[in-house]
A and B are shown apart, each in its own frame.
Chain A
């Protein structure tokens, strides 16, 4: 059974803090890694899709890195804002047309 683990489960930070969380996944037969942001009462929204070892993606204050050999990805948020409060989900895929296997998510709360 393929298992995707995210840590921490939840995180409480102050506005302006930078933060990061981890997504760990089985590296064997890996194909792609997705990150999504899910705000309360909204739909999950795609942040990044990465496929290559060493990939780095950036969108505003949010960036992500990928290590396919050791099976982990980091998501970084620089200068957290209250509007960054959401659950951040990662999901791994193991072949071209394969299903996404989601982690349980990291719930981020940013206090003003």
Chain B
């Protein structure tokens, strides 16, 4: 059974650009959530999608957006990149996104904004 796949693994962008990250969940998993990890910070929740609907959103500006497709694959978009957006972005999947379900994480996309 394939794990959670995130692409690309590394990305370098400049300020003001936009970026799209992709996450393919484990087959059969319908919930995908996104997290940001920066040095000195814990994993910060961005948003969670279930059956193409955003169910939860973290405290991030509107420049951060996402979507989920009918095959449960999800994309995350960051527009007008800022230096502070440099981080590791992780996605995680679970079957229903219930609070008592373990999350399965991808390897992450390391974004550097210059």
Contacts and interface: CB of A to CB of B under 8 A. Distances in A.
B60 to A, nearest CB: 12
Contacts of A89: 42-43
Interface residues of A, number: 26
Interface residues of B, number: 27
Interface in A84-112: 89, 91, 93, 95-105
**Interface SS of chain A: helix, strand, loop or mixed?**
loop
Interface in A29-57: 31-32, 34, 36, 42-46, 49, 51
B25 to A, nearest CB: 13
B103 A102 contact: no
A64 B29 CA distance: 26
A42 to B, nearest CB: 7
Interface stretch (B11-19, B72-80, B104-112): B104-112
B98 interface: yes
Interface string B78-111: 0000000000001010000111111111111000
A51 B100 contact: yes
Given A51-B100, A89-B42, A102-B42, A97 B105 contact: no
B98 A97 contact: yes
B42 A100 contact: no
A99 to B, nearest CB: 4
B106 A97 contact: no
B41 A46 contact: no
Contacts of B32: none
B32 to A, nearest CB: 13
Interface of A: 4, 31-32, 34, 36, 42-46, 49, 51, 89, 91, 93, 95-105
The 4 closest A-B pairs by CB, nearest first: A46-B102, A93-B99, A43-B105, A102-B43
Given A43-B105, A43-B106, 8 more contacts: A32-B99, A32-B100, A44-B90, A44-B103, A46-B102, A46-B104, A51-B99, A51-B100
